[in-house]
Chains A and B, each alone.
Chain A
């Protein structure tokens, strides 16, 4: 029996005294894509860091590959899941290639230096996000969108079977939004990777995910296949703003009333 890449059992997440997620049960298999949607401050990012094992849950457990994430040594966790944060800030200078290479850290021994194979890995990842030829650029000369794509390349270099992405589309133009979503769809389809992403566009979530998790911010959550759960009715309630649904060639589109 194959174990789930990621599993949450009776998970409770609190920010201060406020419980934002209560009794969440969730299981993600390889090749599956899950979108997390909710209002600002509903606890989407906090949930994602908890799922990544970067934050202790207030109750329940997170399992990576069947093992309790809170008991895994950090390096073991890093081999099982990659996490993309919302903010990249770089007080010190570094080149694009050096930054992408940081993803190799969990694969290297204490005294190892990155090999040419690792560098090839990083170059491939840079190419995949359209940053080929920029290896020697300093990171603070990059635009916001380029910096975001570099963060995604670093994630690919980490080569973990599970991707936890917090707003992977922030700062990206339309063309790169589609490219990144197609990249992860391809990784899920061809490499059997699991993808969890916090998204703000329900149409893209519908198009690029298998299931969606709605986070209401008061502890309630709802999960289901995108066709069932991403409807004008549920989303209007989720965002507290009326939405109208339009279908076009199998893709859904939501227009604010």
Chain B
């Protein structure tokens, strides 16, 4: 069991990692900026690479951190809600719904704001469809929720494939980048940051109750958790966090699945530590991956989702093979 002191220590070291990832993101690129210039720019001095840092790299790094944090938080919450270590933020079809919305917007030629708007509408649509269907007779067991989500996600996947098939040639690249996850397209960074702050603030007071929920609904209720209300809240919170991230940066894979597992492996399954630690670790990972994505074969950019998946797949397989049978 982590004590409060140990939790604070771990969070502090993760905060340092976050700082380091920002330092990396702000200095590295096709246009090199020294740390001194970065500090000068952040403090409001003109000159050096100030423009590049403040106008391009900082907003992108902040958006990346927020999206990574949101995905890791949503993943951790979904794993508790479904009591399934293999759950991730997309398992219940949120990203599928957002994908359908975004593809449709690109297909009919809407500007960025329209793509974001329709993606968010699509995510909310999928959320309500899954909830409505899974809730059904009021029982909404984990299995039913999971099955409904997986089926809705499959349906969305088919719609996305359909739109890719009928799309004009010159729109395909934009569509694929959106689907793979790409921070270059994010129009605004503040909605994701706001969503992250709100989601974490709302989730933290219930962290110990989430610990109990992960051990079983009846056990949690017997120990004094208002299980039904908590599950509704978690479902809504995780879905909205996912929707906010997907709207900002497309469906970036594996952060939401792998980061909670990495943190769990290092610190144990206490949500009081796991949730904030996942946010910091997920955010930092995405900032690092995005910086690599835009520098590895610069000037060409890779979609960051490709890199998180490339890092995520082997790490996850390694974790899985290590898990005691």
Contacts and interface: CB of A to CB of B under 8 A. Distances in A.
Contact of A73 (B215, B226, B272): B226
Contacts of B79: 92
Nearest to A52: B222
B3 A105 contact: no
B269 interface: yes
B6 to A, nearest CB: 10
27 contacts: A54-B218, A54-B222, A74-B226, A74-B227, A75-B224, A77-B224, A78-B223, A79-B224, A83-B218, A85-B222, A88-B219, A89-B216, A91-B83, A95-B268, A98-B1, A98-B268, A99-B215, A103-B223, A105-B209, A105-B223, A106-B223, A108-B208, A110-B205, A111-B205, A113-B3, A113-B4, A138-B324
Contact of A92 (B214, B218, B223, B226): B214
A93 interface: yes
A156 interface: no
Nearest to A151: B219
Given A92-B264, A110-B205, A85 B216 contact: yes
Contacts of B83: 91
A114 B7 CA distance: 13
B306 interface: no
A28 B236 CA distance: 41
B225 interface: yes
Interface string A87-122: 011111111011101110110101101100001000
A90 B324 contact: no
B324 A140 contact: yes
Nearest to A122: B1
B85 interface: yes
B270 interface: yes
Contacts of A110: 205, 208
B30 interface: no
Contacts, number: 80
A87 B134 CA distance: 24
A112 to B, nearest CB: 8
A113 B272 contact: yes
A120 to B, nearest CB: 13
A110 B4 CA distance: 14
A135 B221 CA distance: 25
Contact of B1 (A78, A95, A105): A95
Contact of B269 (A75, A79, A92, A101): A92
B224 A74 contact: yes
B211 interface: yes
A54 B221 contact: yes
Interface in B199-238: 205, 208-209, 211-212, 214-216, 218-219, 221-227
A25 to B, nearest CB: 24
A21 to B, nearest CB: 19
A78 B209 CA distance: 13
A143 B201 CA distance: 39
Contacts of A40: none
A105 B215 contact: no
Given A98-B268, A98-B270, A113-B272, A105 B216 contact: no
Interface residues on A, range: 35 or more
Contacts of A140: 324
Nearest to A81: B222
Contacts of A78: 222-224
A140 B324 CA distance: 9
A85 B270 contact: no
A74 B222 CA distance: 7
Residue among A88, A92, A94, A98 with max Cβ neighbours from chain B (10 Å) = A92
Contacts of B218: 49, 54, 83, 85
B130 to A, nearest CB: 21
A82 interface: yes
A102 B222 contact: no
Nearest to A113: B4
A64 to B, nearest CB: 13
A195 B324 CA distance: 37
B84 interface: yes
Residue among A49, A52, A95, A105 with max Cβ neighbours from chain B (10 Å) = A105
Nearest to B265: A93
B215 A106 contact: no
Nearest to A109: B208
B148 to A, nearest CB: 19
Interface in B175-213: 205, 208-209, 211-212
A111 B209 CA distance: 11
B224 A91 contact: no
Residue among B4, B218, B226 with max Cβ neighbours from chain A (10 Å) = B218
Contacts of A79: 224
Interface in B283-325: 324
A144 B321 CA distance: 24
Contacts of A209: none
